[in-house]
Amino acid sequence: MGTSKLLERINNTPISAVEMESYLQAMENDSGEPGFERSVLIARQVFGKDSDKCYSINLRMTALSELLQSESLPGWVAPDTTNGSFQVAANLYLAAGSEPLVEEGKNWRFDTESLLQKAFQIGKTD
């Protein structure tokens, strides 16, 4: 499968708010060593044999992680001084579940402005 077909498949497989909350809760409750392999195992626990959902959550979370590491998002993200991680606004996670990824060179990422707009809109409806 070509990269454009896989990207289309991911963008056609949104993660609902309930699914995102289940995944994040499972990640938070997990006591294993953090990392990509662990996130794949947790995705399988949450989504079972739905490989599209497993791909989608992992690629979306990778894109969000890369965004958080590369850009300052005041009001949406704050450093967690207790362990060096980030505290991320829930709306940003929820927006990442359905916001399309875009291709940039060999990487897939979120369009920052579009993602933040979606997160803002989610906050307005809560």
Question: What is the tens place of the pLDDT at every residue in 29-88?
Answer: 988 777 788 888 999 999 999 999 999 999 999 999 889 888 777 777 766 667 667 778
pLDDT confidence of residue 68: 85
**Any idea which residue has 């060096």 for tokens?**
84
Domain boundaries, the chain: 3-125
Tell me the backbone φ, ψ of residue 78, rounded to 5 degrees. -135, 145
Instruction: Of 7, 105, 92, give the one whose Cα is nearest residue 52.
Output: 7
pLDDT confidence of residue 124: 80
Judge contact between 16 and 96, C-beta under 8 A.
no
How far is 115 from 81, CA to CA, in rounded Å? 25
pTM: 0.86
Percent pLDDT > 90 in the chain is: 56
List Cβ<8 Å contacts ≥24 apart for 21-25. Answer: 22/46, 23/47, 23/57, 24/93
